[in-house]
Structure 1
Amino acid sequence: MMIENPEDVLVDAAGQRHAPFAGDARIVSLVPSLTELVCDLGLAPSLVGRTGFCVHPREVLKGVTKVGGTKDVNLERLRALEATHVIVNIDENRKECVEEIARWVPHVIVTHPCMPEDNLAVYRLFGALFGRQAEAAGLVAGLEAALADARATGACLPPEKVLYLIWREPWMSVARSTYISATLATVGWETWPAGDEPRYPAFEWDAPWLAGVERVFLSSEPYRFQARHVAEVAALAGRPAVLIDGEMASWYGSRAVEGLRYLSHLRRQLAGFAPGPQ
Protein backbone atom coordinates (compact mmCIF):
# COMPACT_ATOMS: atom_id res chain seq x y z
CA MET A 1 0.00 0.00 0.00
CA MET A 2 1.35 3.42 -0.96
CA ILE A 3 1.93 5.73 2.01
CA GLU A 4 0.88 9.31 1.35
CA ASN A 5 3.73 11.80 1.59
CA PRO A 6 2.77 14.22 4.41
CA GLU A 7 4.36 17.07 2.47
CA ASP A 8 2.05 16.50 -0.51
CA VAL A 9 -0.97 17.20 1.69
CA LEU A 10 0.25 20.78 2.08
CA VAL A 11 0.22 21.63 -1.64
CA ASP A 12 -2.75 23.71 -2.84
CA ALA A 13 -4.49 23.79 -6.24
CA ALA A 14 -1.99 26.36 -7.58
CA GLY A 15 0.92 24.09 -6.74
CA GLN A 16 1.98 26.25 -3.80
CA ARG A 17 3.52 24.41 -0.88
CA HIS A 18 2.34 25.64 2.50
CA ALA A 19 3.62 24.98 6.00
CA PRO A 20 1.62 24.20 9.15
CA PHE A 21 0.76 27.48 10.88
CA ALA A 22 1.89 27.62 14.49
CA GLY A 23 0.55 31.04 15.50
CA ASP A 24 -2.91 32.50 15.93
CA ALA A 25 -4.40 32.33 12.45
CA ARG A 26 -6.58 35.13 11.11
CA ILE A 27 -8.53 33.59 8.24
CA VAL A 28 -10.56 35.34 5.54
CA SER A 29 -12.59 33.05 3.29
CA LEU A 30 -13.74 34.30 -0.12
CA VAL A 31 -15.44 30.99 -0.93
CA PRO A 32 -18.89 30.35 0.64
CA SER A 33 -18.67 26.56 0.79
CA LEU A 34 -15.16 26.69 2.25
CA THR A 35 -16.24 29.19 4.90
CA GLU A 36 -18.58 26.45 6.07
CA LEU A 37 -15.69 23.97 6.00
CA VAL A 38 -13.52 26.30 8.12
CA CYS A 39 -16.26 26.36 10.75
CA ASP A 40 -16.84 22.61 10.61
CA LEU A 41 -13.14 22.08 11.30
CA GLY A 42 -13.52 24.06 14.52
CA LEU A 43 -11.79 27.15 13.17
CA ALA A 44 -14.66 29.64 13.52
CA PRO A 45 -12.78 31.63 16.23
CA SER A 46 -10.00 32.24 13.69
CA LEU A 47 -12.37 33.41 10.93
CA VAL A 48 -12.14 37.21 10.70
CA GLY A 49 -13.65 37.86 7.26
CA ARG A 50 -16.05 36.40 4.69
CA THR A 51 -18.08 37.35 1.64
CA GLY A 52 -21.74 38.29 1.74
CA PHE A 53 -22.51 34.95 0.09
CA CYS A 54 -20.95 33.02 2.97
CA VAL A 55 -24.14 32.16 4.84
CA HIS A 56 -23.49 28.80 6.55
CA PRO A 57 -23.46 28.32 9.50
CA ARG A 58 -25.71 31.37 9.87
CA GLU A 59 -25.51 31.96 13.61
CA VAL A 60 -21.73 31.58 13.70
CA LEU A 61 -21.18 33.99 10.81
CA LYS A 62 -23.34 36.83 12.06
CA GLY A 63 -20.39 38.48 13.81
CA VAL A 64 -17.83 37.90 11.05
CA THR A 65 -16.92 40.93 8.92
CA LYS A 66 -18.13 40.94 5.29
CA VAL A 67 -15.60 41.98 2.66
CA GLY A 68 -17.90 42.21 -0.37
CA GLY A 69 -18.71 39.42 -2.81
CA THR A 70 -16.73 36.63 -4.42
CA LYS A 71 -16.10 38.71 -7.54
CA ASP A 72 -16.10 42.22 -6.03
CA VAL A 73 -13.94 42.01 -2.92
CA ASN A 74 -13.48 45.19 -0.89
CA LEU A 75 -9.70 45.11 -0.75
CA GLU A 76 -9.37 47.98 1.72
CA ARG A 77 -11.69 46.28 4.18
CA LEU A 78 -9.89 42.97 3.72
CA ARG A 79 -6.50 44.57 4.25
CA ALA A 80 -7.66 46.16 7.50
CA LEU A 81 -8.41 42.69 8.89
CA GLU A 82 -4.68 41.82 8.84
CA ALA A 83 -5.34 38.27 7.70
CA THR A 84 -2.66 35.64 7.91
CA HIS A 85 -4.54 33.40 5.45
CA VAL A 86 -7.02 34.09 2.64
CA ILE A 87 -8.90 31.18 1.08
CA VAL A 88 -9.75 31.56 -2.63
CA ASN A 89 -11.04 29.45 -5.50
CA ILE A 90 -9.96 29.42 -9.14
CA ASP A 91 -13.54 29.49 -10.46
CA GLU A 92 -15.19 31.76 -7.92
CA ASN A 93 -12.63 34.55 -7.44
CA ARG A 94 -11.03 36.88 -10.00
CA LYS A 95 -7.38 36.11 -10.74
CA GLU A 96 -6.30 39.77 -10.65
CA CYS A 97 -7.97 40.22 -7.27
CA VAL A 98 -6.19 37.16 -5.85
CA GLU A 99 -2.86 38.41 -7.18
CA GLU A 100 -3.42 41.77 -5.48
CA ILE A 101 -4.31 40.11 -2.18
CA ALA A 102 -1.13 38.02 -2.36
CA ARG A 103 0.92 41.21 -2.28
CA TRP A 104 0.22 41.72 1.43
CA VAL A 105 -1.36 38.53 2.80
CA PRO A 106 1.33 36.00 3.80
CA HIS A 107 -0.64 32.89 2.88
CA VAL A 108 -3.18 32.68 0.02
CA ILE A 109 -4.67 29.19 -0.19
CA VAL A 110 -5.89 28.37 -3.70
CA THR A 111 -8.57 25.69 -4.15
CA HIS A 112 -10.18 24.13 -7.22
CA PRO A 113 -12.38 21.08 -6.55
CA CYS A 114 -13.64 19.79 -9.91
CA MET A 115 -15.39 16.67 -8.62
CA PRO A 116 -16.56 15.40 -5.21
CA GLU A 117 -13.40 13.32 -4.69
CA ASP A 118 -11.29 16.48 -4.79
CA ASN A 119 -12.70 17.52 -1.43
CA LEU A 120 -10.57 14.86 0.25
CA ALA A 121 -7.42 16.82 -0.57
CA VAL A 122 -9.02 20.07 0.61
CA TYR A 123 -9.97 18.53 3.96
CA ARG A 124 -6.43 17.21 4.47
CA LEU A 125 -4.82 20.49 3.39
CA PHE A 126 -6.87 22.60 5.79
CA GLY A 127 -6.46 20.07 8.58
CA ALA A 128 -2.68 20.00 8.20
CA LEU A 129 -2.39 23.78 7.87
CA PHE A 130 -4.36 24.65 10.98
CA GLY A 131 -3.76 21.68 13.26
CA ARG A 132 -7.17 20.12 12.70
CA GLN A 133 -6.06 16.73 11.45
CA ALA A 134 -8.53 14.78 13.59
CA GLU A 135 -11.48 16.84 12.40
CA ALA A 136 -10.28 16.56 8.80
CA ALA A 137 -9.95 12.79 9.16
CA GLY A 138 -13.57 12.63 10.28
CA LEU A 139 -14.68 14.50 7.18
CA VAL A 140 -12.52 12.27 4.97
CA ALA A 141 -14.20 9.17 6.42
CA GLY A 142 -17.64 10.73 6.00
CA LEU A 143 -17.02 11.67 2.38
CA GLU A 144 -15.54 8.31 1.47
CA ALA A 145 -18.66 6.60 2.86
CA ALA A 146 -20.97 9.02 1.04
CA LEU A 147 -19.07 8.50 -2.21
CA ALA A 148 -19.32 4.73 -1.87
CA ASP A 149 -23.08 4.96 -1.32
CA ALA A 150 -23.53 7.39 -4.21
CA ARG A 151 -21.57 5.18 -6.59
CA ALA A 152 -23.53 2.11 -5.49
CA THR A 153 -26.76 4.00 -6.15
CA GLY A 154 -25.57 4.99 -9.61
CA ALA A 155 -24.45 1.45 -10.39
CA CYS A 156 -27.76 -0.20 -9.47
CA LEU A 157 -29.96 2.12 -11.55
CA PRO A 158 -29.98 2.79 -15.30
CA PRO A 159 -28.15 6.01 -16.28
CA GLU A 160 -30.51 8.95 -16.74
CA LYS A 161 -29.96 11.98 -18.97
CA VAL A 162 -30.89 15.19 -17.15
CA LEU A 163 -31.10 18.91 -17.79
CA TYR A 164 -29.98 20.93 -14.77
CA LEU A 165 -31.40 24.44 -14.88
CA ILE A 166 -29.52 27.24 -13.10
CA TRP A 167 -31.17 30.29 -14.71
CA ARG A 168 -34.27 31.60 -16.41
CA GLU A 169 -34.43 34.33 -19.09
CA PRO A 170 -32.19 33.20 -20.60
CA TRP A 171 -32.54 29.53 -19.78
CA MET A 172 -29.16 28.18 -18.72
CA SER A 173 -27.75 24.79 -17.79
CA VAL A 174 -24.36 23.32 -16.82
CA ALA A 175 -21.62 21.76 -18.95
CA ARG A 176 -19.95 18.43 -18.26
CA SER A 177 -16.81 20.26 -17.07
CA THR A 178 -18.54 21.67 -13.97
CA TYR A 179 -18.42 20.41 -10.39
CA ILE A 180 -22.22 20.15 -10.50
CA SER A 181 -22.14 17.79 -13.46
CA ALA A 182 -19.44 15.64 -11.86
CA THR A 183 -21.43 15.43 -8.62
CA LEU A 184 -24.63 14.41 -10.40
CA ALA A 185 -22.70 11.82 -12.42
CA THR A 186 -21.70 10.10 -9.18
CA VAL A 187 -25.29 8.90 -8.74
CA GLY A 188 -25.82 8.15 -12.43
CA TRP A 189 -27.29 11.42 -13.69
CA GLU A 190 -25.69 12.49 -16.98
CA THR A 191 -26.07 16.21 -17.64
CA TRP A 192 -26.97 17.64 -21.05
CA PRO A 193 -25.84 19.30 -23.26
CA ALA A 194 -22.86 17.02 -23.67
CA GLY A 195 -20.05 19.57 -24.18
CA ASP A 196 -17.52 21.05 -21.76
CA GLU A 197 -17.72 24.68 -22.97
CA PRO A 198 -19.23 27.07 -22.30
CA ARG A 199 -19.45 25.95 -18.70
CA TYR A 200 -22.91 27.45 -18.24
CA PRO A 201 -24.58 27.31 -21.67
CA ALA A 202 -27.73 29.22 -22.59
CA PHE A 203 -30.21 27.31 -24.75
CA GLU A 204 -33.63 27.42 -26.42
CA TRP A 205 -36.30 24.82 -25.88
CA ASP A 206 -36.19 23.76 -29.55
CA ALA A 207 -32.54 22.65 -29.30
CA PRO A 208 -32.19 19.19 -30.98
CA TRP A 209 -30.17 17.71 -28.09
CA LEU A 210 -33.14 18.14 -25.74
CA ALA A 211 -34.77 15.13 -27.39
CA GLY A 212 -32.49 12.86 -25.37
CA VAL A 213 -33.21 14.44 -21.99
CA GLU A 214 -35.29 12.29 -19.64
CA ARG A 215 -35.67 14.61 -16.62
CA VAL A 216 -35.30 18.29 -15.78
CA PHE A 217 -33.99 19.67 -12.49
CA LEU A 218 -34.76 23.21 -11.34
CA SER A 219 -32.02 24.32 -8.97
CA SER A 220 -32.62 26.53 -5.95
CA GLU A 221 -29.51 28.56 -6.87
CA PRO A 222 -28.23 30.78 -8.35
CA TYR A 223 -31.74 31.41 -9.74
CA ARG A 224 -34.25 30.65 -7.03
CA PHE A 225 -36.56 28.27 -8.89
CA GLN A 226 -39.74 27.58 -6.94
CA ALA A 227 -42.71 25.23 -7.10
CA ARG A 228 -44.57 27.62 -9.41
CA HIS A 229 -41.89 27.12 -12.08
CA VAL A 230 -42.17 23.32 -12.19
CA ALA A 231 -45.32 23.13 -14.32
CA GLU A 232 -43.94 25.76 -16.71
CA VAL A 233 -40.71 23.83 -17.25
CA ALA A 234 -42.46 20.47 -17.54
CA ALA A 235 -44.66 21.90 -20.29
CA LEU A 236 -41.72 23.45 -22.14
CA ALA A 237 -39.56 20.34 -21.89
CA GLY A 238 -42.24 17.71 -22.24
CA ARG A 239 -40.38 15.81 -19.53
CA PRO A 240 -40.75 15.28 -15.76
CA ALA A 241 -39.46 18.32 -13.84
CA VAL A 242 -38.50 18.52 -10.18
CA LEU A 243 -36.97 21.03 -7.79
CA ILE A 244 -33.51 20.26 -6.44
CA ASP A 245 -31.48 21.81 -3.62
CA GLY A 246 -28.68 23.61 -5.47
CA GLU A 247 -26.38 23.72 -2.46
CA MET A 248 -26.38 19.94 -2.31
CA ALA A 249 -25.23 19.66 -5.91
CA SER A 250 -22.87 22.62 -6.19
CA TRP A 251 -21.27 23.29 -2.78
CA TYR A 252 -18.01 21.54 -2.08
CA GLY A 253 -16.17 21.53 1.26
CA SER A 254 -17.92 19.78 4.13
CA ARG A 255 -21.33 20.21 2.44
CA ALA A 256 -20.24 17.59 -0.12
CA VAL A 257 -20.82 14.81 2.42
CA GLU A 258 -24.44 15.79 3.05
CA GLY A 259 -24.85 16.66 -0.62
CA LEU A 260 -23.96 13.20 -1.88
CA ARG A 261 -26.26 11.59 0.66
CA TYR A 262 -29.07 13.89 -0.45
CA LEU A 263 -28.50 13.09 -4.13
CA SER A 264 -28.32 9.34 -3.47
CA HIS A 265 -31.63 9.50 -1.64
CA LEU A 266 -33.24 11.66 -4.34
CA ARG A 267 -32.02 9.32 -7.09
CA ARG A 268 -33.54 6.32 -5.37
CA GLN A 269 -36.71 8.23 -4.50
CA LEU A 270 -37.34 9.32 -8.11
CA ALA A 271 -36.69 5.74 -9.26
CA GLY A 272 -39.29 4.51 -6.77
CA PHE A 273 -36.86 2.83 -4.38
CA ALA A 274 -36.89 5.23 -1.43
CA PRO A 275 -39.45 7.15 0.63
CA GLY A 276 -39.96 10.90 0.24
CA PRO A 277 -37.76 13.66 1.71
CA GLN A 278 -36.65 13.03 5.29
Structure 2
Amino acid sequence: MSYIDQTGRELRWHFPPRRIVSLVPSQTELLFDLGLSTELVGVTKFCVHPPNHKLRIGGTKRLHIEKIKGLQPDLIIANKEENEREQVESLMKEFPVWVTDVHDLSGALEMIRQVSVITGRGEKGAQLCGEIIGAFNELAVLRKLSPLGVTRKKVAYFIWKDPWMVAGGDTFISAMLEQCGLENVFKGRTRYPVITLEELQHTDCQLVLLSSEPFPFKEAHFSSFPDWPVKLVDGEMFSWYGSRILRAVAYFREIFYQNQAFF
Protein backbone atom coordinates (compact mmCIF):
# COMPACT_ATOMS: atom_id res chain seq x y z
CA MET A 1 0.00 0.00 0.00
CA SER A 2 1.09 3.60 -0.61
CA TYR A 3 0.12 6.62 1.51
CA ILE A 4 1.22 10.25 1.96
CA ASP A 5 1.93 11.33 5.56
CA GLN A 6 1.43 14.82 7.03
CA THR A 7 4.91 15.92 5.96
CA GLY A 8 4.24 15.03 2.33
CA ARG A 9 6.31 11.82 2.31
CA GLU A 10 5.07 8.78 0.43
CA LEU A 11 5.30 5.46 2.29
CA ARG A 12 4.75 1.89 1.17
CA TRP A 13 4.26 -1.15 3.39
CA HIS A 14 2.26 -4.34 3.75
CA PHE A 15 -1.28 -3.55 4.82
CA PRO A 16 -2.55 -3.76 7.47
CA PRO A 17 0.46 -3.35 9.81
CA ARG A 18 0.83 -6.09 12.44
CA ARG A 19 3.73 -4.72 14.49
CA ILE A 20 3.42 -1.01 15.30
CA VAL A 21 5.80 1.13 17.34
CA SER A 22 4.54 4.51 18.58
CA LEU A 23 7.00 7.28 19.42
CA VAL A 24 4.38 9.75 20.74
CA PRO A 25 2.19 9.45 23.87
CA SER A 26 -0.93 11.08 22.44
CA GLN A 27 -0.78 8.88 19.35
CA THR A 28 -0.21 5.78 21.47
CA GLU A 29 -3.46 6.52 23.28
CA LEU A 30 -5.16 6.92 19.90
CA LEU A 31 -3.91 3.52 18.74
CA PHE A 32 -5.36 1.89 21.86
CA ASP A 33 -8.67 3.68 21.31
CA LEU A 34 -8.72 2.43 17.72
CA GLY A 35 -8.50 -1.14 19.04
CA LEU A 36 -4.86 -1.76 18.12
CA SER A 37 -3.53 -2.91 21.48
CA THR A 38 -2.42 -6.25 20.05
CA GLU A 39 -0.62 -4.70 17.08
CA LEU A 40 1.16 -2.14 19.25
CA VAL A 41 4.49 -3.69 20.29
CA GLY A 42 6.58 -0.72 21.48
CA VAL A 43 5.94 2.66 23.11
CA THR A 44 7.90 5.42 24.85
CA LYS A 45 8.27 5.69 28.61
CA PHE A 46 5.86 8.63 28.50
CA CYS A 47 3.07 6.58 26.90
CA VAL A 48 1.13 6.11 30.13
CA HIS A 49 -2.45 6.30 28.82
CA PRO A 50 -3.96 3.82 29.02
CA PRO A 51 -1.81 1.92 31.56
CA ASN A 52 0.03 -0.76 29.60
CA HIS A 53 2.94 -3.18 29.70
CA LYS A 54 4.26 -2.66 26.19
CA LEU A 55 8.04 -2.63 25.68
CA ARG A 56 9.48 0.82 26.45
CA ILE A 57 11.75 2.09 23.70
CA GLY A 58 13.08 5.21 25.45
CA GLY A 59 11.76 8.77 25.59
CA THR A 60 10.36 10.82 22.76
CA LYS A 61 13.65 12.70 22.39
CA ARG A 62 15.98 9.84 23.32
CA LEU A 63 14.85 6.71 21.55
CA HIS A 64 16.57 3.37 22.03
CA ILE A 65 17.10 2.68 18.35
CA GLU A 66 18.41 -0.86 18.83
CA LYS A 67 15.36 -1.82 20.90
CA ILE A 68 13.12 -0.55 18.12
CA LYS A 69 15.08 -2.48 15.52
CA GLY A 70 14.76 -5.60 17.63
CA LEU A 71 10.98 -5.33 17.51
CA GLN A 72 11.06 -5.47 13.69
CA PRO A 73 8.07 -3.14 13.30
CA ASP A 74 6.22 -2.94 10.00
CA LEU A 75 5.07 0.60 10.88
CA ILE A 76 6.48 3.32 13.15
CA ILE A 77 4.38 6.37 14.00
CA ALA A 78 6.36 9.52 14.84
CA ASN A 79 5.75 13.28 15.08
CA LYS A 80 7.70 16.12 13.47
CA GLU A 81 7.90 18.21 16.65
CA GLU A 82 8.02 15.66 19.46
CA ASN A 83 10.71 13.39 18.02
CA GLU A 84 14.28 14.19 17.03
CA ARG A 85 14.75 14.39 13.27
CA GLU A 86 18.09 12.59 13.23
CA GLN A 87 16.70 9.59 15.11
CA VAL A 88 13.57 9.41 12.98
CA GLU A 89 15.59 9.58 9.76
CA SER A 90 17.81 6.79 11.08
CA LEU A 91 14.74 4.57 11.52
CA MET A 92 13.46 5.52 8.05
CA LYS A 93 16.44 3.73 6.52
CA GLU A 94 15.08 0.37 7.67
CA PHE A 95 11.37 0.78 8.45
CA PRO A 96 8.25 2.61 7.22
CA VAL A 97 7.92 5.68 9.46
CA TRP A 98 4.69 7.66 9.35
CA VAL A 99 5.33 11.25 10.51
CA THR A 100 2.50 13.45 11.73
CA ASP A 101 2.54 17.26 11.94
CA VAL A 102 -0.27 18.75 14.04
CA HIS A 103 -0.77 22.42 14.93
CA ASP A 104 -4.54 22.83 15.30
CA LEU A 105 -7.84 20.99 15.54
CA SER A 106 -8.18 20.39 11.81
CA GLY A 107 -4.66 18.97 11.71
CA ALA A 108 -5.46 16.68 14.64
CA LEU A 109 -8.60 15.42 12.93
CA GLU A 110 -6.67 14.77 9.72
CA MET A 111 -4.03 12.89 11.72
CA ILE A 112 -6.69 10.71 13.35
CA ARG A 113 -8.30 9.97 9.98
CA GLN A 114 -4.98 9.09 8.38
CA VAL A 115 -3.71 6.90 11.21
CA SER A 116 -7.00 5.04 11.38
CA VAL A 117 -6.97 4.39 7.62
CA ILE A 118 -3.35 3.22 7.42
CA THR A 119 -3.89 0.82 10.32
CA GLY A 120 -7.11 -0.66 8.95
CA ARG A 121 -9.40 1.13 11.41
CA GLY A 122 -10.87 3.71 9.04
CA GLU A 123 -14.48 3.28 10.13
CA LYS A 124 -13.64 3.61 13.81
CA GLY A 125 -11.48 6.66 13.10
CA ALA A 126 -14.26 8.34 11.15
CA GLN A 127 -16.66 7.73 14.03
CA LEU A 128 -14.17 9.21 16.51
CA CYS A 129 -13.67 12.30 14.34
CA GLY A 130 -17.43 12.77 14.11
CA GLU A 131 -17.73 12.67 17.89
CA ILE A 132 -14.88 15.16 18.30
CA ILE A 133 -16.38 17.58 15.78
CA GLY A 134 -19.77 17.33 17.50
CA ALA A 135 -18.23 17.99 20.92
CA PHE A 136 -16.35 21.09 19.73
CA ASN A 137 -19.47 22.37 17.96
CA GLU A 138 -21.35 22.11 21.26
CA LEU A 139 -18.49 23.95 22.98
CA ALA A 140 -18.75 26.73 20.38
CA VAL A 141 -22.47 27.12 21.07
CA LEU A 142 -21.85 27.24 24.82
CA ARG A 143 -19.14 29.82 24.25
CA LYS A 144 -21.56 32.10 22.41
CA LEU A 145 -24.21 31.81 25.11
CA SER A 146 -21.85 32.31 28.04
CA PRO A 147 -20.81 35.69 29.49
CA LEU A 148 -17.25 34.42 29.01
CA GLY A 149 -17.82 34.52 25.27
CA VAL A 150 -18.81 38.18 25.17
CA THR A 151 -15.18 39.30 25.45
CA ARG A 152 -12.26 37.05 24.58
CA LYS A 153 -10.27 36.64 27.78
CA LYS A 154 -6.55 37.11 27.31
CA VAL A 155 -4.31 34.44 28.81
CA ALA A 156 -0.68 33.37 29.07
CA TYR A 157 -0.03 29.63 29.09
CA PHE A 158 3.21 28.65 30.89
CA ILE A 159 4.92 25.33 30.19
CA TRP A 160 8.28 25.83 31.97
CA LYS A 161 10.10 27.62 34.78
CA ASP A 162 13.78 28.66 34.93
CA PRO A 163 13.58 29.97 32.33
CA TRP A 164 9.94 30.94 31.99
CA MET A 165 8.52 29.52 28.77
CA VAL A 166 5.07 29.96 27.25
CA ALA A 167 3.09 28.53 24.37
CA GLY A 168 3.38 30.63 21.21
CA GLY A 169 0.72 31.18 18.59
CA ASP A 170 1.67 28.35 16.22
CA THR A 171 1.25 25.58 18.81
CA PHE A 172 -1.56 23.09 19.31
CA ILE A 173 -1.92 24.49 22.84
CA SER A 174 -2.67 27.95 21.46
CA ALA A 175 -5.20 26.45 19.04
CA MET A 176 -6.98 24.79 21.96
CA LEU A 177 -7.06 28.11 23.84
CA GLU A 178 -8.78 29.61 20.79
CA GLN A 179 -11.31 26.79 20.78
CA CYS A 180 -12.07 27.67 24.40
CA GLY A 181 -12.77 31.27 23.49
CA LEU A 182 -9.49 32.55 24.94
CA GLU A 183 -6.79 34.69 23.36
CA ASN A 184 -3.12 33.85 23.78
CA VAL A 185 -1.27 37.07 24.62
CA PHE A 186 1.85 35.54 23.08
CA LYS A 187 0.15 34.46 19.85
CA GLY A 188 2.58 36.63 17.91
CA ARG A 189 5.53 34.49 19.03
CA THR A 190 6.43 31.08 17.59
CA ARG A 191 6.80 27.72 19.28
CA TYR A 192 7.69 27.99 23.00
CA PRO A 193 9.49 31.29 23.57
CA VAL A 194 11.45 32.17 26.68
CA ILE A 195 10.00 35.28 28.32
CA THR A 196 10.50 37.36 31.45
CA LEU A 197 7.79 38.25 33.92
CA GLU A 198 8.53 41.87 33.07
CA GLU A 199 7.45 41.11 29.51
CA LEU A 200 4.22 39.67 30.86
CA GLN A 201 3.64 42.97 32.68
CA HIS A 202 3.56 44.72 29.32
CA THR A 203 0.77 42.52 27.93
CA ASP A 204 -2.96 42.77 28.56
CA CYS A 205 -3.02 39.33 30.18
CA GLN A 206 -6.09 38.67 32.34
CA LEU A 207 -5.30 35.11 33.46
CA VAL A 208 -2.15 33.01 33.89
CA LEU A 209 -2.46 29.29 33.17
CA LEU A 210 0.20 27.00 34.63
CA SER A 211 0.41 23.61 32.96
CA SER A 212 0.94 20.27 34.70
CA GLU A 213 3.44 19.32 31.98
CA PRO A 214 6.20 19.33 30.91
CA PHE A 215 7.07 21.36 34.03
CA PRO A 216 4.96 20.19 37.01
CA PHE A 217 3.61 23.54 38.19
CA LYS A 218 2.00 23.62 41.64
CA GLU A 219 0.08 26.16 43.70
CA ALA A 220 3.40 27.14 45.30
CA HIS A 221 4.26 28.87 42.01
CA PHE A 222 1.24 31.20 42.19
CA SER A 223 3.25 33.71 44.22
CA SER A 224 5.37 34.48 41.15
CA PHE A 225 2.30 36.08 39.56
CA PRO A 226 0.89 38.49 42.19
CA ASP A 227 -0.77 40.73 39.58
CA TRP A 228 -2.92 38.10 37.87
CA PRO A 229 -5.43 35.38 38.67
CA VAL A 230 -3.65 32.04 38.26
CA LYS A 231 -5.02 28.58 37.51
CA LEU A 232 -3.40 25.17 37.32
CA VAL A 233 -4.49 23.23 34.23
CA ASP A 234 -4.07 19.68 32.97
CA GLY A 235 -1.42 19.93 30.27
CA GLU A 236 -2.51 16.70 28.60
CA MET A 237 -5.88 18.24 27.80
CA PHE A 238 -4.27 21.13 25.94
CA SER A 239 -1.34 19.42 24.22
CA TRP A 240 -2.34 15.79 23.49
CA TYR A 241 -3.77 15.85 19.96
CA GLY A 242 -5.01 12.28 19.58
CA SER A 243 -8.24 10.81 20.92
CA ARG A 244 -7.59 12.72 24.16
CA ILE A 245 -9.13 15.83 22.53
CA LEU A 246 -12.57 14.25 22.82
CA ARG A 247 -12.10 14.02 26.59
CA ALA A 248 -10.61 17.51 26.60
CA VAL A 249 -13.86 19.18 25.57
CA ALA A 250 -15.62 18.12 28.78
CA TYR A 251 -12.62 19.40 30.72
CA PHE A 252 -12.71 22.77 28.95
CA ARG A 253 -16.43 23.10 29.66
CA GLU A 254 -15.84 22.44 33.35
CA ILE A 255 -12.93 24.79 33.98
CA PHE A 256 -13.93 27.69 31.73
CA TYR A 257 -17.72 27.64 31.66
CA GLN A 258 -18.93 25.96 34.82
CA ASN A 259 -16.50 27.81 37.07
CA GLN A 260 -15.64 31.35 36.02
CA ALA A 261 -14.73 32.64 39.46
CA PHE A 262 -11.06 33.03 38.58
CA PHE A 263 -11.78 35.73 35.96
Do these two structures clear the TM 0.5 threshold for a shared fold by scoring above it? yes
Task: Give 2:94's match in structure 1, choosing from 76, 79, 104.
Answer: 104
Residue 217 (str. 1) matches residue 209 (str. 2): yes
Letter in 2 for 1:102: M
Is the counterpart of residue 183 in structure 1 residue 172 in structure 2? Answer: no
1:263 aligns with 2:260: no
Partner residue in 1 for 2:40: 47
5+ residue gaps, structure 2: none
Residue 31 (str. 1) matches residue 24 (str. 2): yes
- Give the direction of change, closer, same or farther, for the CA distance of 1:66–1:84 in structure 2 (3 Å limit): same
Task: String of CA shifts for 1:145-191, please: whole Å, max 9, x gaps.
Answer: 12212323443412010011111122211111111001111111111
Q: Contact conserved, 1:30 with 1:50, CA < 8 A, in 2? A: yes
Quote the sequence identity (%). Answer: 35
TM-score, with structure 1 as normaliser: 0.86
Equivalent pair of 1:24/1:46 in contact (CA under 8 Å): yes
Whole-angstrom CA distance in 2 between matches of 1:101 and 1:123 = 22
RMSD: 1.9
**Do the aligned partners of residues 20 and 73 (structure 1) sit closer, same or farther apart at CA in structure 2, a change above 3 Å counting?**
closer
Alignment pair present for 1:75 and 2:75:
no
* Cα shift at 1:210: 4.0
Q: Read off the aligned partner of 1:112 and give its amino acid letter.
A: D
Tell me whether 238-247 or 203-212 shows the greater mean CA deviation.
203-212
Structure 1 contact 115–182 (Cα < 8 Å) conserved: yes
User: In the TM superposition, what whole-angstrom CA distance separates every residue of 1:200-226 from its partner, at most 9, and x where no partner exists?
Assistant: 122222226544000011110011112
Output the TM-score relative to the length of structure 2.
0.91
CA contact (8 A) 2:17 2:75 kept: no
What amino acid does structure 1 have at the position aligned with 2:173? I
Residue 136 to residue 208, structure 1, CA distance change in 2 (3 Å): closer
Alignment CA distance shift 1:214-1:270 (3 Å): farther
Q: Tell me, in whole angstroms, the C-alpha distance in 2 between the residues paired with 1:116 and 1:20.
A: 28
* Superposed counterparts of 1:168-179, under 5 Å: 168-179=161-172
- Name the structure where strand makes up a greater proportion of residues: 2
Distance 2:166 2:204 in 1: 15
Q: 2:121 aligns with which of 109, 128, 132?
A: 132
SS of 2:257's equivalent in the other structure is helix
User: In the alignment, residue 38 of structure 1 is paired with which amino acid?
Assistant: L
4+ runs deviating over 6 angstroms: none
TM-superposed deviation, 1:67: 1.0
Match for 1:85 among 75, 78, 82? 75
- Give the Å deviation of 1:38: 0.5
